[in-house]
Structure 1
Amino acid sequence: MSRFVALPKGVSEETFARAINEYRALLGEGRVRTDPASLQSYMKIMIPESEELHKPSAVIYPKSVQEIQKIVGIANKYKTPLWTVSTGKNMGYGTAAPATRGQIVLDLKTMNRIVHVDEELGYCLVEPGVTYYDLQQHFKKNRMNLWVDVPAPSAMASPVGNTADRGVGYTPYGEHFLFSCGMEVVLANGDVIRTGTGGLANSSSWQTNKWGNGPYVDGLFTQSNLGIITKLGVWLMKGPPPGGYYPFLMKFPKVEMLPDIIKTLMPLRMSQIIPNACIVVNAGWEAAGYFTYDKNGKGTNRETFYKGRGSLPPKVFQQIMDKYDVGAWNFYAALYGSPEQVALNWKYVSGAFKQKFGKDVRIITEREAKDDPIFEYRRQLMMGGSTLQEFGLYNWRGGGGSMWFAPVAAARPSECEQQMKVATDILNKYGFDYVSEFIVGWRDMHHIIDLLYDRTQPEEMKRAYQCFDELLTVFTKNGYGTYRTNTAFMDKVSRSYGQGMRDIHHKLKRALDPNNILAPGKSGINLQA
């Protein structure tokens, strides 16, 4: 019986033990852990696969770029792969567990310096262990009128990690990679590069000019395993003056209204009257936000209303909507600028929706919302607030299972409606509910669908896997690309983009990481496959 929880593929126990000894000689025993207790948090998964497939062999905690350079040297010597995480709060996409069994988790949470914040031009330079909450507290402590765009699990996620996975948020800076500027990256051979203008000695524009000179390479290190990002520049919003932020919610009573909602909002979005990455949330996602558990693990979820294991009947779904007073669709957005600009734009926005929907739209502002917790959660997100609020989405079904299916739709009414109908049919076929939000980008929609299921039920685990697989197959056949996925389906998503792209990715991997030591399997890139 092995003394290790798991071993990397193709690495003997003797070889792995020598590697661990070298890692410990470099970092000390406390920062190189192989015991089951220390690895437990890295084994927790929300995808419908066995934890055995994703067990790490060890976890390593570096504190500097120089240590990472030496770590990759040892990894190359012994062929011990490294699965890099920043904070590991990758909810819906695989958490902190490695894509394949036996990888060493390289946990960068101990590299948590806010290197620099420039209030004048609105940018920062941070290490991977810095969270959105850390930045928010830094701004508050130093009385800086700056906002950082945050994703839904805002507080404990990392700007570096979320940007590297091309995540999105809810302010006008919602496309995170678009609003990043300059990276420091350790390559698999230990070389350190700085992208953009970062290669210049004493560069004064590293976080202000994205492009530098020659081919733009920053994208190579997003959703990839071609390097380890150790610093990232992030552009920040200047907070508007008092009275210059106006969040609002509109509730719509019928599912069939989705095309008209999109048709009404997109001209306002494209003209920047509504400037933020606003959202259209369905009843399931919205209602789940109100679900809570007490200290004994009991509380309200969908099972309170329906004891069956299948998808909710329409009548029961309506009961949940009525209890929590949520719309079939719930549109959250905000206006930004001077108080005068906000007041004028609000006339355009409210007027457009009233003209289209009349009494079939309920408009709620901060005044009407009062102390509603979900409105407050969304208000914080749309102003870059890093909340610590427990979001009740995962209480919807119970049992700890969640996979975010994330196709992209062109922001056309017909395409969004088609995606909604196809997804609902497939989910209901397997006994699951359609729980979703559309995040409205510049000309696209990030259609985030949470497949929530019970991991304690083997039969339900099997159905969840089959359901997600069919979602991917059908959406790909219809020309809908998946922009981000969990570790169980990374290879399938990679194949959906064509052999040409896979060939390029593997050529880059062979050139930059011939020993396949950096996160094999990430985004379907693995030289052993």
Structure 2
Amino acid sequence: MSRFVALPQGVSEATFAKAIQEYRALLGEGRVRTDPASLQSYMKIMIPESEELHKPSAAMYPKTVKEIQAIVAIANKYKTPLWTVSTGKNMGYGSSAPATRGQIVLDLKTMKKIIHVDEELGYCLVEPGVTYYDLQQHFKKHKMNLWVDVPAPSAMASPMGNTADRGVGYTPYGEHFLFSCGMEVVLANGDVIRTGTGGVPNSTSWQANKWGYGPYVDGIFTQSNYGILTKLGVWLMKGPPPGGYFPFLMKFPKVEMLADIIKTLMPLRLAQIIPNACIVVNAGWEAAGYFTYDKNGKGTNRETFYKGKDSLPPKVFQQIMDKYDVGAWNFYAAVYGSPEQVALNWKYVSGAFKAKFGNQVRIITEKEAKDDPIFEYRRQLMMGGSTLQEFGLYNWRGGGGSMWFAPVAAARPSECDRQMRLATEVLNKYGFDYVSEFIVGWRDMHHIIDLLYDRTDREEMNKAYKCFDELLTVFTNNGWGTYRTNTAFMDKVSHSYGPGMRDIHYRLKRALDPNNILAPGKSGIDLNPHNPGYAFNEGLNHGRPLDVP
């Protein structure tokens, strides 16, 4: 029996032991862990697969770029793959567990320097372990009128990690990769590169100018396994003057109103009257926010209203809506600027929705919301405030299972309506509820659907896997791409974008990481012939085995 929790594929125990010995000589015993207790947090997954498929072999905690360079040298020597995480708050997409069994988790949470914040131009340069909360506290301490755009799950996530996965938030700076500027990357051969103008000695514009000269390469280090990001520039929003931020909520009573909501809001979004990445939240997602735990740890959730395993009947869903006073759709947005601009733009926004919906829309501002916790949560999100948890969402069904299905739609009313109807049909077929939000981008919708299920129930795990698989198939067949996915389905999503893209992804991997040491399996890119993502030339989709204990 092996003395290690797991071993990398193709690496013997003796070889792995030698590698660990060299890693410990470099970092010390405390920063290279192989004991089960230390690895437990990296084995916690919310996807419907066995934890055995995602067990790491070790975890390492570097503190400097030089240490990472030395780590990749050892990894190349012994062919020990490295699964890089920042803070590991990758909720709904796989947490911090590696894509394939036996990888070493390279945990960069110990690299926590806020290297520079420029208040004049509104940007910062940070290391991987810096969180959104860290930046917020820094602004507060130094009395800086700056906002950083925070994603929904938690301010304890990392700007670098979320940007590298092309995540989104809810302020006018909601498209995180778009508002990044300049990277430092350690390549698989140990070289360090700085993108944009970062390669110019003594550059003064590394975080001010995105492009530099020649081919723009920053994008290949997002959703990829071509390098290890060690520094990232992030553009920050200047906070508006007092009275220059006006958040609001509009509640709509009928599911069928989605197309008209989109039709009304998009002209306002395109004209930048509503400048932020606003959201249209369905009743399930909104109601889940109000579920709370009592002092005994027992939660109020959908099971309080309906004991069955099937999706909620319409009458029961309506009971939940009535209980928590949520709309079938709940539209959160804000207007920003000077007080005069805010007042004028609010007239445009409220007028447009009143003209379209009349008394069928309920408009709620801070004054009416008072101390409502969900309004406050959304108000904070849309101003880059401190959000430490997603209220109650994972208590909707219970059992710890969650997968975020994230297709993109063009921001057309008919397209969003069709996505909603197809997703509801597939989810209900397997007994799951449609719990979603549309994040309104520039001309697209990030349609975030949380497939919530009970991971303690073997039958539900199997159903959840099959349901997610069918959602991917149906949406791909309708011409909709998935912009982000969990580790169980990365290979299938990769195939959905066609052989041309897979071919170039593999060419880049062979050129930059021929020993396949950086996060094999990430985004379906893996040079190991024993792993599911390898068979790209043959046009085969091996898929992933459903191995439920």
Normalising TM by the smaller chain, what interval? over 0.9
Structure-1 residue corresponding to 2:3: 3
TM-score (norm 2): 0.96
Structure-2 residue corresponding to 1:284: 284
Task: Please tell me whether residue 271 in structure 1 is matched to residue 261 in structure 2.
Answer: no
Structure-2 residue corresponding to 1:403: 403
Do the aligned residues in 2 keep the contact of 1:163 with 1:176 (CA within 8 Å)? Answer: yes
* Mapping of residues 339-378 of structure 1, within 5 Å: 339-378=339-378
- Alpha-carbon distance between aligned partners in 1 of 2:134 and 2:398, rounded to the nearest angstrom: 30
In the alignment, structure 2 segments of 5+ residues that lack a partner are 529-533, 535-549
Per mean C-alpha deviation after superposition, the further-off stretch among 507-516 and 290-299 is: 290-299
Displacement, 1:366?
0.1
User: Which letter maps to 1:483?
Assistant: Y
Structure-1 residue corresponding to 2:434: 434
DSSP 3-state at the match of 1:406:
strand
User: Which letter maps to 1:56?
Assistant: P
User: Which letter maps to 1:194?
Assistant: R
Structure-1 residue corresponding to 2:35: 35
- Alpha-carbon distance between aligned partners in 2 of 1:150 and 1:389, rounded to the nearest angstrom: 12
Displacement, 1:390?
4.8
User: Which letter maps to 1:373?
Assistant: P
DSSP 3-state at the match of 1:155:
coil
Structure-2 residue corresponding to 1:520: 520
Structure-1 residue corresponding to 2:547: none
User: Which letter maps to 2:435?
Assistant: V
- Alpha-carbon distance between aligned partners in 1 of 2:228 and 2:417, rounded to the nearest angstrom: 39
Structure-2 residue corresponding to 1:412: 412
Displacement, 1:378?
0.2
Displacement, 1:30?
0.2
Displacement, 1:389?
3.9
Structure-2 residue corresponding to 1:449: 449
Displacement, 1:391?
2.0
Do the aligned residues in 1 keep the contact of 2:152 with 2:387 (CA within 8 Å)? Answer: no
- Alpha-carbon distance between aligned partners in 1 of 2:408 and 2:72, rounded to the nearest angstrom: 35
* Mapping of residues 199-214 of structure 1, within 5 Å: 199-214=199-214
Structure-2 residue corresponding to 1:462: 462
DSSP 3-state at the match of 1:41:
helix
* Mapping of residues 34-433 of structure 1, within 5 Å: 34-433=34-433
Displacement, 1:276?
0.2
- Alpha-carbon distance between aligned partners in 2 of 1:209 and 1:471, rounded to the nearest angstrom: 40
- Alpha-carbon distance between aligned partners in 1 of 2:389 and 2:306, rounded to the nearest angstrom: 27
DSSP 3-state at the match of 2:67:
helix
In the alignment, structure 1 segments of 5+ residues that lack a partner are none
Do the aligned residues in 2 keep the contact of 1:377 with 1:389 (CA within 8 Å)? Answer: no
Do the aligned residues in 2 keep the contact of 1:151 with 1:170 (CA within 8 Å)? Answer: yes
- Alpha-carbon distance between aligned partners in 1 of 2:423 and 2:151, rounded to the nearest angstrom: 23
Q: Aligned Cα RMSD in Å?
A: 0.5
Render the CA deviation track for 1:31-76: whole Å, top value 9, x for unaligned.
0000000000000000000000000000000000000000000000
Do the aligned residues in 1 keep the contact of 2:282 with 2:330 (CA within 8 Å)? Answer: yes
- Alpha-carbon distance between aligned partners in 2 of 1:77 and 1:421, rounded to the nearest angstrom: 52
Render the CA deviation track for 1:418-460: whole Å, top value 9, x for unaligned.
0000000000000000000000000000000000000000000
- Alpha-carbon distance between aligned partners in 2 of 1:286 and 1:117, rounded to the nearest angstrom: 35
- Alpha-carbon distance between aligned partners in 2 of 1:385 and 1:186, rounded to the nearest angstrom: 32
- Alpha-carbon distance between aligned partners in 1 of 2:389 and 2:221, rounded to the nearest angstrom: 31
DSSP 3-state at the match of 2:199:
coil
Displacement, 1:295?
3.8
- Alpha-carbon distance between aligned partners in 2 of 1:263 and 1:103, rounded to the nearest angstrom: 47
Displacement, 1:154?
2.9
- Alpha-carbon distance between aligned partners in 1 of 2:453 and 2:113, rounded to the nearest angstrom: 37
Displacement, 1:24?
0.2
DSSP 3-state at the match of 1:234:
strand
Displacement, 1:410?
0.2
Render the CA deviation track for 1:203-254: whole Å, top value 9, x for unaligned.
0000000000000000000000000000000000000000000000000000
- Alpha-carbon distance between aligned partners in 1 of 2:120 and 2:384, rounded to the nearest angstrom: 18
- Alpha-carbon distance between aligned partners in 1 of 2:382 and 2:410, rounded to the nearest angstrom: 22
- Alpha-carbon distance between aligned partners in 2 of 1:213 and 1:124, rounded to the nearest angstrom: 22
- Alpha-carbon distance between aligned partners in 2 of 1:292 and 1:63, rounded to the nearest angstrom: 39
Render the CA deviation track for 1:108-129: whole Å, top value 9, x for unaligned.
0000100000000000000000
- Alpha-carbon distance between aligned partners in 2 of 1:244 and 1:411, rounded to the nearest angstrom: 27
Structure-1 residue corresponding to 2:22: 22
DSSP 3-state at the match of 2:229:
strand
Render the CA deviation track for 1:361-419: whole Å, top value 9, x for unaligned.
00000000000000000000000012224521000000000000000000000000000
DSSP 3-state at the match of 1:198:
helix
Do the aligned residues in 1 keep the contact of 2:154 with 2:390 (CA within 8 Å)? Answer: no
- Alpha-carbon distance between aligned partners in 1 of 2:48 and 2:178, rounded to the nearest angstrom: 32
Q: Name the % identity.
A: 89
TM-score (norm 1): 1.00
Do the aligned residues in 2 keep the contact of 1:292 with 1:300 (CA within 8 Å)? Answer: yes
User: Which letter maps to 2:511?
Assistant: A
User: Which letter maps to 2:31?
Assistant: R
User: Which letter maps to 1:421?
Assistant: R
- Alpha-carbon distance between aligned partners in 2 of 1:79 and 1:364, rounded to the nearest angstrom: 57
User: Which letter maps to 1:314?
Assistant: P
- Alpha-carbon distance between aligned partners in 1 of 2:140 and 2:391, rounded to the nearest angstrom: 23
The number of equivalent residue pairs is 529
- Alpha-carbon distance between aligned partners in 2 of 1:156 and 1:8, rounded to the nearest angstrom: 30
User: Which letter maps to 2:275?
Assistant: P
User: Which letter maps to 2:92?
Assistant: G
- Alpha-carbon distance between aligned partners in 2 of 1:255 and 1:390, rounded to the nearest angstrom: 23
DSSP 3-state at the match of 1:124:
strand
- Alpha-carbon distance between aligned partners in 1 of 2:444 and 2:399, rounded to the nearest angstrom: 33
- Alpha-carbon distance between aligned partners in 2 of 1:40 and 1:388, rounded to the nearest angstrom: 23
User: Which letter maps to 2:181?
Assistant: C
User: Which letter maps to 1:119?
Assistant: E
